[in-house]
Amino acid sequence: MTPEQTKRSGQCLCGAVKYQATLLEEGVHVCHCTLCQKWHGGPGMAAGCDGDWSIQGEENLTWYASSDWAKRGFCKTCGSHLLFKTNDASYHGIAAGTLDNLDGFKIESHIFVDKKPSYYDFNDNAPRLTEEEFLKMVGEHTS
């Protein structure tokens, strides 16, 4: 583990799915895409991890292919949104609110800011990327 990386635990609302993961940083990335809005009822907030997560209660975890390039994992008992991963395993994320301890965390970035609805805003100075800028950064083609 590098100095920024930290081992963290978390769980779903009912406790049927528990996990441990090595986070890449103590930061939260806020996604304003329409998929996250529908999935979370607002912006998605995730902490990036190295993909080496261990899951207890994996039989209660269901994966949903939310796009051509990513999947979202949720508890099939309580419905808590827990995990996100790209199909090529280049990014793994943990839903920030499911972590047991968020002490020391801060917002690191906002993505898909051009999809953000007008009814909410964040008052921070974290970098903001549009959909096109983000997809270019991760090597996806825009339509």
| CATH at 106 | 2.170.150.70
Q: How far apart are CA 118 and CA 97, in angstroms?
A: 23
Query: By residue range, what is the domain housing residue 89?
Result: 6-138
- Considering the entire predicted model, what is its pTM? 0.87
Instruction: Report yes or no on 52 lying in a domain.
Output: yes
Instruction: Report yes or no on 61 lying in a domain.
Output: yes
Instruction: Report yes or no on 88 lying in a domain.
Output: yes
Task: Name the H helices within the chain.
Answer: 34-40, 131-138
Per-residue pLDDT of the chain (143 residues; tens, 9 = 90+): 454 568 899 999 999 999 999 999 889 999 999 999 999 999 999 999 988 889 999 999 999 999 888 999 999 999 999 999 989 888 899 999 999 999 889 999 999 999 999 999 999 999 999 999 988 887 764 44
Instruction: Report yes or no on 1 lying in a domain.
Output: no
Compute CA distances 25 → 7, 17, 30, whole Å: 10, 23, 14
- Residues present in the chain in total: 143
pLDDT at 141: 47
Instruction: Report yes or no on 83 lying in a domain.
Output: yes
Instruction: Report yes or no on 143 lying in a domain.
Output: no
Kindly report the CA angle at 78 between 118 and 87, in degrees rounded to 5? 70
Instruction: Estimate to the nearest angstrom the gap between the alpha carbon of 98 and the chain centroid.
Output: 10
Structural domains of the chain, count: 1
